[in-house]
Amino acid sequence: MPETAPLPATTATVAEVVRDTVARLAAAGVPDAHVDAELLVAHVLDVSRGGVQAASIRGDRMPAAARAVLVPLVDRRCAREPLQHLTGSAPFRSMELAVGPGVFVPRPETEMVAQLAIDALRAVASEAPVAVDLGTGSGAIALALATEVPHARVFAAENSVDAFVWTKENVARIGARNITLAFIDLAHAFPELDGTVSVVASNPPYVPDDAIPRDPEVRLYDPPAALYGGPDGLDAVRQLSRVGLRLAHSGGTIVIEHGEWQGAAIRDILTADGWRSAATHPDLTTRDRATTAVRP
């Protein structure tokens, strides 16, 4: 892998370090190398990305200690370890979530899935509507619901030991008091809520078993249990449909994230199980991203 010769730590400016880092990341094939470079420098300097840009404009020098911390992080990013694993956090809507090995890193696309669930929950004519997030992972969707619909009661289920560690940390970090977290098999989650839930939401594993993701960050670092959903990628969706029918009351909504080519198949699954008004929704890139339906 071609590398740019490192600049002396005692003389390098922040702008020079950013430029050097961009060159290394770009040579390693990292997408958005400039963004990642600024975020890595921001991480070691304990400032925002805007703070790095301001320091670059001012001509600030890069502290030697920060440079020493940065170098191995850049090496790891060049090996395509996810940026979020290096910084220990991932932005999601208004939150910063703790992430790392063993948990699926929340993507920007899932923010619109959360918005669909939030909109449905806000529309419920109840002083304390109930929402459930099945397979919550980092807790992204559940915590978005809990913080943005504070009068709701939110229940989140996870069945991966490794992911559950991160879920618990994020629930504690965000401090939402209206969320209940459970380590439980998803098929049997929250029987005490049967017939009372207004919104059932999930970002399930939906990659077909033989469809290996192109990006090394996904292929090598996201937990397989959070990625692969059987031969057609829809095994978890079939389970979600059945569990959702058990949990939801009449008029309750289910919101399921999925791949861009799976909308029609998921609408068929939901409709065959008895859900009504199945509809697929695009994300900001105009790719189909989520399907919703209503319990009769």
Are the CB atoms for 111 and 93 separated by under 8 Å?
yes
CA angle 259, 37, 51 (to 5 degrees): 110
d(CA 253, CA 120): 7
- Average pLDDT over every residue of 87-112: 95
d(CA 236, CA 104): 16
Task: Specify the pLDDT at position 182.
Answer: 97
Task: Give the residues across from 105 on adjacent strands.
Answer: none
Task: Specify the pLDDT at position 6.
Answer: 52
* Residue 268 confidence class, pLDDT cut points 50, 70, 90: very high
Note whether 98 and 75 are same-domain residues.
Answer: no
Please check whether residue 127 lies inside any domain of the structure.
Answer: yes
Please check whether residue 4 lies inside any domain of the structure.
Answer: no
* Residue 212 confidence class, pLDDT cut points 50, 70, 90: confident
Q: Which domain holds residue 231?
A: 90-294
Note whether 149 and 54 are same-domain residues.
Answer: no
pTM, two decimal places: 0.90
Per the listing, tokens 């979020």 go with 84
What percent of the chain is modeled with pLDDT above 90?
91
159-189, pLDDT tens digit by residue?
999 999 999 999 999 999 999 999 998 899 9
- Average pLDDT over every residue of 73-88: 97
41-64, pLDDT tens digit by residue?
999 999 999 999 999 999 999 999
What percent of the chain is modeled with pLDDT above 70?
97
Task: Specify the pLDDT at position 10.
Answer: 55
Lowest mean pLDDT among 7-11, 93-97, 102-106, 200-204: 7-11
Last residue of a domain, one of 57, 79, 101: 79
d(CA 206, CA 67): 40
Note whether 32 and 178 are same-domain residues.
Answer: no
Task: Flag whether pLDDT at 7 surpasses 80.
Answer: no
How many structural domains does the chain have?
2
Task: Flag whether pLDDT at 5 surpasses 90.
Answer: no
Note whether 138 and 48 are same-domain residues.
Answer: no
Residue 104 three-state SS: coil
Note whether 74 and 97 are same-domain residues.
Answer: no
Lowest mean pLDDT among 18-32, 132-146, 219-233: 219-233
- Average pLDDT over every residue of 211-223: 89
d(CA 118, CA 133): 12
C-alpha distances (whole Å) from 167 to each of 56, 69, 216 are 36, 28, 24
Note whether 134 and 165 are same-domain residues.
Answer: yes
Please check whether residue 209 lies inside any domain of the structure.
Answer: yes
CATH number of the CATH domain containing 270: 3.40.50.150
Q: Count of CB atoms within 10 A of residue 200's CB?
A: 30
Hey, which bits of the chain come out as E strands?
89-92, 95-98, 130-134, 153-158, 179-183, 197-202, 248-257, 276-282, 288-294
Last residue of a domain, one of 79, 104, 121: 79
Note whether 172 and 266 are same-domain residues.
Answer: yes
- Average pLDDT over every residue of 256-279: 97
Task: Flag whether pLDDT at 209 surpasses 70.
Answer: yes
Please check whether residue 9 lies inside any domain of the structure.
Answer: no
